[in-house]
């Protein structure tokens, strides 16, 4: 189905990835810090979404956390993960606002590449159809390649999330070059009427330029840097600063 491109800038939403909070809790046992309380506080301080990435080894977010969070999150709930059957059973049971499909290996430390949406077209089409049957918005994690964006739309995706790890690395050396490397994929998503998300290694230095370069950006999901900043600034001030980074130019 053809989607008409949106012409106006959108207000980019901040979704806080709380995996690192669960990592800290799990390191000691017990329930300190309290993941549910932290999620509620993030919303209270202005976060417009909560993101989790439950992994099979449950080294941070557990399946039980996902169920508990689904009962308390009042903003958008975004669940990331590789769509193996246990993950699909979980998200189809919980029915979050959005599922972000990520091609992680079982033992992967963190996400470091997007889908080959052309090679995986049939599988992704089936998976996204299943998510849509449960009224879940489907976002596909892709490298900044216009072809991968185009095939994500062919698979029925509602959005793509551009993997911004390389952007963050390049930004430290050449911000303009970093942004231009992402422009073809971001503009292709806009042209096709796909929603545009971003995440991974975004921080207080590089988020504002990315959001201003692509004013149709729908959402950023930020975890590691945001939680690290909160150790110094406090979570309320940190969320305020990231929200400021997303204001229109």
At 114, which CATH number? 3.20.20.70
- Is 7 inside any structural domain? no
Q: Quick check: is 3 in a domain?
A: no
Number of other residues whose CB lies within 10 A of the CB of residue 238: 24
Q: What is the pLDDT of residues 46-97, one digit of tens each?
A: 999 999 999 999 999 999 999 999 999 999 999 999 999 999 999 999 999 9
pLDDT at position 106 is: 57
Active site residue 80: yes
Alpha-carbon span 112 to 102, nearest angstrom: 10
- Note if 190 is an active site residue: no
- The answer to whether residue 5 is domain-embedded is no
Please tell me which residue in 43, 80, 150, 219 is annotated as part of the active site. Answer: 80
User: Half-sphere exposure (CA, 13 Å, Cβ side) for 9?
Assistant: 11
User: What percent of the chain shows pLDDT beyond 70?
Assistant: 93
Out of 53, 161, 190, 219, the active site residue is: 53
Tell me, what DSSP letter sits at residue 144? S
**Which residues constitute the domain of residue 185?**
13-245
The stretch 212-219 carries a mean pLDDT of 98
Domain count, the chain: 1
Answer whether residue 37 is part of any domain. Answer: yes
Provide the pLDDT for residue 218.
98
Specify if 212 maps to a domain. Answer: yes
- Asked if residue 4 is part of any domain, the answer here is no
| Strand spans (E) along the chain | 13-17, 49-52, 76-81, 98-101, 137-142, 159-163, 195-199, 219-222
Confirm whether 40 is domain-assigned: yes
Is 1 a member of any domain? no
pLDDT for the residue 1: 33
Rounded Cα–Cα distance for residues 14 and 28 (Å)? 29
Of 60, 76, 190, 200, the active-site residue reads: 200
Residue 110 pLDDT class (50, 70, 90 cuts): low
């Amino acid at each position: 189905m053809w989607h008409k491109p949106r012409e106006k800038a959108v207000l980019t939403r901040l979704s806080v990835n709380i995996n690192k909070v669960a990592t800290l809790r799990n390191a000691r046992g017990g329930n300190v810090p309290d993941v549910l309380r932290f999620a509620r506080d993030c919303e209270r301080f202005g976060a417009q979404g909560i993101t989790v990435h439950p992994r099979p080894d449950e080294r941070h977010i557990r399946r039980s956390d996902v169920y508990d969070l689904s009962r308390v999150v009042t903003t958008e709930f975004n669940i990331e993960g590789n769509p193996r059957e246990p993950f699909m059973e979980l998200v189809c049971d919980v029915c979050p606002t959005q599922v972000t499909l990520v091609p992680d290996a079982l033992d992967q430390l963190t996400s470091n590449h997007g889908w080959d949406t052309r090679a995986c077209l049939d599988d992704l089409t089936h998976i996204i159809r299943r998510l849509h049957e449960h009224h879940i918005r489907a976002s596909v994690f892709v490298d900044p390649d216009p072809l991968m964006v185009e095939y994500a739309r062919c698979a029925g995706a509602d959005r793509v999330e551009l993997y911004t790890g390389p952007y963050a690395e390049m930004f430290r050396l050449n911000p303009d070059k970093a942004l231009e490397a992402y422009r073809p994929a971001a503009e292709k998503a806009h042209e096709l009427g796909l929603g545009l998300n971003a995440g991974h290694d975004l921080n207080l230095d590089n988020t504002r330029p990315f959001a201003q370069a692509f004013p149709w950006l729908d959402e950023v999901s930020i975890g590691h840097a945001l939680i690290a900043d909160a150790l110094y600034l406090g979570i309320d001030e940190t969320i305020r600063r990231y929200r400021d980074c997303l204001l229109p130019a």
